Amino acid sequence: MEDIRHYMVPGTCAHLIGIGGVSMSPLAEVLHRAGITVHGSDMRESDAVDHLRSLGVKVSIGHRAENIRGCDYIIRTAAVHDSNPEIAAAHAQGIPVFERAQAWGAIMQHYKNAVCISGTHGKTTTTSMMTHITMAAALDPTIMVGGTLPLLGSGYRVGHGDTIVLESCEYCNSFLSFFPTVAVILNVEADHLDFFKDLADVEHSFHRFAALVPENGSIIVNADDAGSMASVQGLTHPVTTFGLDAPEADITAENITLQNGCPAFDIVCRGEHYCRASLRVPGRHNILNALAAAAAAKALEIPGTAVEQGLATFTGAGRRFEHKGNYNGAEVYDDYAHHPGELHALLTTAKTLGYRRILCAFQPHTYSRTKALFQEFVEELKLPDIAILMEIFAARETDTLGISSKDLADAIPGALYCKTLDDVTAALRSLAQEGDLILTVGAGDIYLAGEKLLVQ
């Protein structure tokens, strides 16, 4: 297989398919700044596309073979298949095709510090926390986060410092193309079972990811999470652990107090006080996310004052318990949770916030995940007072499994099944009462149901 680093040099021309995407648009900007001619294609106009055009990057709307004319190599996302006309044309013309993760891997080798934050869930929040910390420490970092962060006004930042922070996804083993100097593993659970065989296969992937860290780098792992600890078994690298329950954890939280539902606590590193964190996001899971970010900051020798400042200014990432408005006296929030573990963290936190009732409108993401984790979804969706199940968001799949959200609704006492977004909005409108918490939850387009509720 050819090495993308031989191509990613000034004077070459790269064509990016899906250039307006959350991790492709920053990639395009980084390559453009490095003296590489960049053009690309996307299915739709967007703010990201407008921004790239303002930099002088040519973007075509729609995928056509002629779009690749003049390029030396192609970079695509995992969602772009060989049947794409631009990929087919590249193969026919002998133009090499690389994955987005390979390009980011090549880029991060130019940074002294490459902080890669991985895990089944919590990646976006922890990467966002780390963004706030590195910005507070004036490191002028380059950032790649899988969601919109108010601090940045987008999901990325192209800095000039020697630190890059990336959300690192295990799907299709993407993060195995990376070169982390600091690898964070938040949790490891069975997910993406359309690609991985089982939990052991997922753990093996994370093991390979951790093994990419050089001997003088840092591996940071959640001591409270069995899957995370299993994934680093047998490594010769030193491992730093964080946690709340494991007494042997290197980095932990002490003197935890709550203010308006949000935790404040001392971060203690191997028995020594590092800083006092005051979070503006609720939940035990966010204490763990903050500990992970603090552990990464410690590895970069960032002073505790910058960690305090960074965490104190973080108010959440887009679609992570994001407040959307008030309808009929009910507060409306949206969250990206699409795995049972994420649902558990979201719903158990929600139950501590003092609302009269919790109404959860959930849209499962992919048929394979819904089928493989069916019983786990049922158990978590019993937690809200009323569960509203929208039909499954197919994403990259077609329904070959004969599974429907109605199957979930039938297994959950009192749950409602809604086929469309309009049906979900109508159900929420009829149910919402003063003092309720309404949650629209899922990785698809369920957030639109809440937005429709607020504008009608």
Which residues have a catalytic role annotated? 123-124, 167
Q: Which of 61, 10, 64 is nearest to 38 (CA)?
A: 10
* 135 bridge partner residues: none
Backbone angles phi, psi at 277, to 5 degrees: -100, 135
The rounded distance, in Å, linking the Cα atoms of 237 and 259 is 39
* 254 bridge partner residues: 266
What own/partner pairs with CB < 8 Å and gap ≥ 24 does 42-49 have?
42/18, 43/18, 44/20, 46/20, 48/19, 48/20, 48/21, 48/154, 49/19, 49/20, 49/25
Q: What are the angstrom distances between the C-alpha of 89 and each of 66, 83, 201, 406?
A: 8, 10, 34, 42
Encoding tokens for residue 388?
């509203």
Cα 3 → chain centroid = 27
Cα 306 → chain centroid = 23
The rounded distance, in Å, linking the Cα atoms of 337 and 365 is 10
Encoding tokens for residue 286?
């966010």
Q: Which of 427, 440, 434 is nearest to 393 (CA)?
A: 440
